[in-house]
Amino acid sequence: MRVIITGGTGLIGRALAANLAFELYEVIVLTRHPERVTRLPQGVQAVGWDGRTANGWGGLADGADVIVNLAGESIAAGWWTEARKRRILESRVNAGRAVVEAVKAATHKPSVVIQASAVGYYGPHGDEEVTEATPAGNDFLAQVCREWEASSAEVESLGVRRAILRTGLVLSRAGGPLPLMRLPFYFFVGGPLGGGKQWFPWIHIADEVGAIRFAMKKTDAQGVFNLCAPNPLTNADFSRALAKVIHRPSFMPAPAFAVRLLLGEMSTLLLDGQREIPQRLQQLGFSFRFAEAEPALRDLLG
């Protein structure tokens, strides 16, 4: 089985590629700089692309079984200037359009396109439970997610099943929020961010990969799915769980004004949250390995 992963050198893409390669899938990751890619698992091939079109790789979609579209500039790699916000949006929209272009040209089309999205689709929702039926928000991240999801929608009219994955905050040793969150705890200055009442929709990297694999294989997995653990916590409760696992106190909150001063508009990633629930994923029978935060953190940091 051939699987093409756009954005395959990022945190989720690398974990997914390694998991698939271990089971002897043919895995192709698309990257703008294949010459810089190192430490790919055995059996994973890096192929260059421009991030905008199917030039140079589109032929690989002919006969491929799955395309997983994860591509997009990191939202957490710097201040959200207007130029950077434009790159964040355009990188995602262009990647989706490139996938459509490749699928259109393929004689033997993939059976499914897995389209990445994020919990930011919903915008801040306070204590309200957020399911796949919750409407989109109206802030910058919600706009990005709406257009990101729409970018590959045309494959459905070509007879290709499409699953959209609105992922929460992915917990991993290799990157994402966890290494940054744990750092102050090691210096005994850890605690909740802001008031700590904001919800923290997390998912262990193993369940993120498992849910993508589930959506690839399950033929009735179509439409939108929330990818998050079924037991979200507030930021304060997550901080206490993290402190317990690494045997540190959780007593020193980071004031909201300081986080906003440090990060600007990007502070919404830490100070606003969603009580995201993976309703459709559970209805289809997906079983989480890590449904509770403390066992998840012990697996990653213990």
- Indicate whether 255 belongs to any domain: no
- Report whether 22 contacts 41 (CB < 8 A): yes
Whether pLDDT at 262 is above 80: no
- Indicate whether 279 belongs to any domain: yes
Q: How large is the average pLDDT for residues 284-288? A: 98
Whether pLDDT at 41 is above 90: no
The C-alpha atoms of residue 146 and residue 46 are separated, in whole angstroms, by 29
Q: What percent of the chain has a predicted confidence (pLDDT) above 70?
A: 100
Read off the tokens for 141.
């991240």
- Indicate whether 18 belongs to any domain: yes
pLDDT in tens, 130-152: 999 999 999 999 999 999 999 99
Q: 3: part of which helix (H) or strand (E)? A: strand 2-6
pLDDT score of 191: 87
What distance lies between CA 9 and its chain's CA centroid?
Answer: 13
- The domain tally of the chain equals 1
pLDDT score of 52: 95
Bigger pLDDT: 75 vs 277? 277
Residues with Cβ within 8 Å of residue 28, at least 6 apart in sequence = 2, 3, 4, 5, 8, 44, 45, 46, 47, 57, 60, 64
Q: 282: part of which helix (H) or strand (E)? A: helix 279-283
- Indicate whether 296 belongs to any domain: no
- Indicate whether 196 belongs to any domain: no
- Indicate whether 19 belongs to any domain: yes
pLDDT in tens, 152-195: 999 999 999 999 999 999 999 999 889 888 888 888 888 888 88
- Indicate whether 72 belongs to any domain: yes
- Indicate whether 44 belongs to any domain: yes
18-22, 169-173, 261-265, 269-273, range with the lowest pLDDT: 261-265
Whether pLDDT at 294 is above 90: yes
pLDDT in tens, 194-243: 889 999 999 999 999 999 999 999 999 999 999 999 999 999 999 999 99
Q: Which domain holds residue 63?
A: 2-174+202-230+275-289
| Domain at 81, CATH number | 3.40.50.720
Closest CA to 192 of 242, 124, 262: 242
- Report whether 172 contacts 178 (CB < 8 A): yes
